[in-house]
Every structure is written in C-alpha cells, then in structure tokens.
Amino acid sequence: MDLLDDDIVPERARGVKAEAREFAREHVAPNAADHFRSGEYPWEVLEAGQEAGLVAQDIPEEWGGRGLDLAETLALAEEFYRADAGIALTLQLASFGCEITYEYGTDEQCEEYVRPVAEGEAISGLAVSEPETGSDLAGMETRAEKSEARDASERSGATAEKDGDEWVIDGEKYWIGNGVEADWVTVYARTGDDEDDRYGNHSTFIVPTDADGYEAEHIPEKMAMRASKQAHITFDGCRIPEENLIGSEGAGFMLLADFFNHGRVVVAGHGLGLAAAAIEEAWAFVHDREEFGRTVNEFQSVQHDLADMLAAFESARALTWRACEKVQRRENAGYWAALAKTKATETAVDVAERAMSLHGGRSVLDDRRIARVYRDARVPVIYEGVNEVQRNLIYRQAR
C-alpha cells in the first residue's frame, strides 16, 4: 500500500518527492522516537537535510536555493510528515518567513539574510502570534516605532553615536518556531492605529536574534511535535536599522495574507502525511493481530473502518492537490488554501482517532508510532490559522 503515490503529483514535483522519501527513510523515521522522547532539537537531521538540498530550497536560485515551487514543497511535506511530524516541522521551519523577504524585500536584504539560510549557514523564523492574540492578524499589539537613533552609550555603554533612523520594537510574541535557535526572525508589528483601515496598521521587519532588546526562551515541553521548538519572545526597546523594514510601511497584513495562502497548502500536506502514517499503522496492525481465532482485519466492522479512512484520505489528498494548483495560479487562493488546510488536517485527526481504536489497548503505549501520530495530528488544525477561522474564510471567499 503506497498512499502517497505519484499519480496525483505533477510531473515537475516527482523528483523532489523521491528525494524527500529517501531522506525521510534514512534520516527522519529512524530518529523519530528518540527525539519525541527526549524533546531535543534534531540538529543532526537538520544539517543532513541542508546538505541534501531539502531544507530552505523554495528560496529562488538567485539567492542560493533551488527555487522549488508550491507543488514541490507540498510533495516534500507529505513525505517528511509521514515519517515524523516533529522533525519534519523543524526541517520546514528552518526557512520560515524567508518567502516574505525574497518576494517583497530588497536585493540587499536577500543577500544578507536569505542567502545564508539557503546555503545552510543560518536558519530563520517568523514571529506573528502573541500571548493574547493568535489568529487575528489585525489585532496584534507588538509595536514598532520610528525613532532617531539615541546616543549609543544609553544602550550599550559605547561612546560613539549612530547616525540615521531606527525602528524600536516593544512587545511579545508566542509559539514562535525557532525563536531561540534562529539567526533572524521576520517580525510582524503594529506601526499605525488607523481605525478606518484596520488592515493597514502593521508592517514586517527583519530582526536579528542577537539584537539588543531581543530575548527568547523555549515554551515548556509540549504533548506533541516535541522535536520542534517554539519560543516566547520579548522585545524590550529592541532596535533594528531602518532598512530592515520589508516592503512598505503598513503592508504587513497583505504580505502575510499572501504568505499564508501558500503556507496553508503546505500545512494540508502535513495533514496528509500524518493521515497516511495513521492508516499504514492501522493496516499493518489489524492484519497481524489475531482475535477469536482470526486476524482482526477479517471482521467486517474493521474493514468498514479502514474503508472510511481510505475514502477520507483520498478525498483530502485530491482536494489538496487541486488547491495547490489553484493557489499557485492565484485563482481565489485564499478560498482554496483554507479548504485544503481544513479538510486535510481534520482528516488527519479523524483517521488517527480511528487508528487508535483499531489498535485497542496497545494504542496508548509510548513505543507505538500510532500514539505519536495521534498526538501530533492535533497540532496542524491549530497553526497557520485555526480551522474555525479557516471556515470563516471559506464562507466569505466562496464564489
């Protein structure tokens, strides 16, 4: 049974998919259980992924990447997440936020910040969510204000003065992937208070993590995706150069909206990989396990469960790959991205729950892959915009 076959995948994405599958078998799956138990960041797998050219390779060739398109990135996500969601998330977060810079930033920004990520010399992050605000992009309160540079001695004890304007950032961000590990993060911050233009009050900035006023700490251990690290970031008078603004002031909301359309299709791939893993585990278990003198798969109710799981999976996968082409062609992208993200991630939850039931008491054992998949499947329904918000987007953008 090969649930992630190539039939539905565009020809252009099949080569990368094969690379990702081989890498996942060699590096991701064998390390999954250990990293889930330890909760340690999988540096060695990340480095292997960088060397294999499978990390941060959506970055265009002119900035050191392979220029993988959305279909290639989705194909890669399916394979990585089938092997292990925690390590897969680390691999995909290594370049998180770079797309905003290479799509809307300057050549100087791309050369200084994006190229090192593509070449495996740095990793990035994206700081959007806040402790009190998750999915409301227009409601984020971390603030960036323009200020003439102050005397350097006031900030660092130095005696020289710095010429030019700076942005000063104050506030908090929460659930930020690589907030501790990253070399720089893209920060979404409020720069205006126009009540008549709620969607024009935010901007995006490149913030090096060694900047004064930037502090980050890991969020305590999670129940799922433990190989991926998220952080609580505090900005306390964090100063960055004026030229670290990405695009134009006030354009942050629109930049993120476009970014998330692509991201939600990839997150749908997260769901597909997890669903495939759950079905594979359930299929193998019921065909090996005996009850009442016959293997469990011979019971009709079990066959019906597996049939329903397969039907749900294939429906979600067909929708996701259709959405991928729609989003790539920018055809009502927000609608299709929300449909795919909602359907695929919720299918992963439903399939994982059925797989747990088919495993019976063994499903709760820590050494069982299905127990890890079940916990991991609860996460993608939340990130990149909770599915309740996705339903709002689907309704509003249906046409």
Looking at the annotation, which residues are catalytic? 384
Longest CA span, the chain: 84
DSSP for 352-389 reads HHHHHHHHGGGGG-TT-HHHHHHHHTTSTTTTTS-HHH
DSSP for 233-260 reads EEEEEEEEEGGGEESSTT-HHHHHHHHH
Query: Whole-angstrom Cα distance, residue 77 to residue 91?
Result: 10
Query: Whole-angstrom Cα distance, residue 243 to residue 174?
Result: 25
Instruction: Name every residue whose Cβ is closer than 8 Å to that of residue 58 and which is 6 or more positions away in sequence.
Output: 65, 66, 67, 68, 69, 72, 73, 95, 98, 99
Query: Whole-angstrom Cα distance, residue 316 to residue 273?
Result: 11
- Rounded to 5 degrees, φ, ψ at 70 are -65, -40
Query: Whole-angstrom Cα distance, residue 78 to residue 84?
Result: 10
Task: From 226, 218, 233, 121, select the one nearest 185 (Cα to Cα).
Answer: 233
Residue 230, strand partner residues: 177
Query: Whole-angstrom Cα distance, residue 250 to residue 78?
Result: 35
Would you put residue 56 in left (φ > 0), alpha (ψ -120 to 50) or beta? Answer: left
CA 352 to chain centroid, in Å, comes to 20
Q: State how beta strands 290-291 and 143-148 pair.
A: unpaired
Q: State how beta strands 294-295 and 124-127 pair.
A: unpaired
Nearest-Å Rg of the Cα atoms of the chain is 22
Query: Whole-angstrom Cα distance, residue 104 to residue 257?
Result: 13
Query: Whole-angstrom Cα distance, residue 27 to residue 18?
Result: 14
Query: Whole-angstrom Cα distance, residue 385 to residue 264?
Result: 8
Neighbours of 324 (CB within 10 A): 29
Query: Whole-angstrom Cα distance, residue 140 to residue 199?
Result: 11
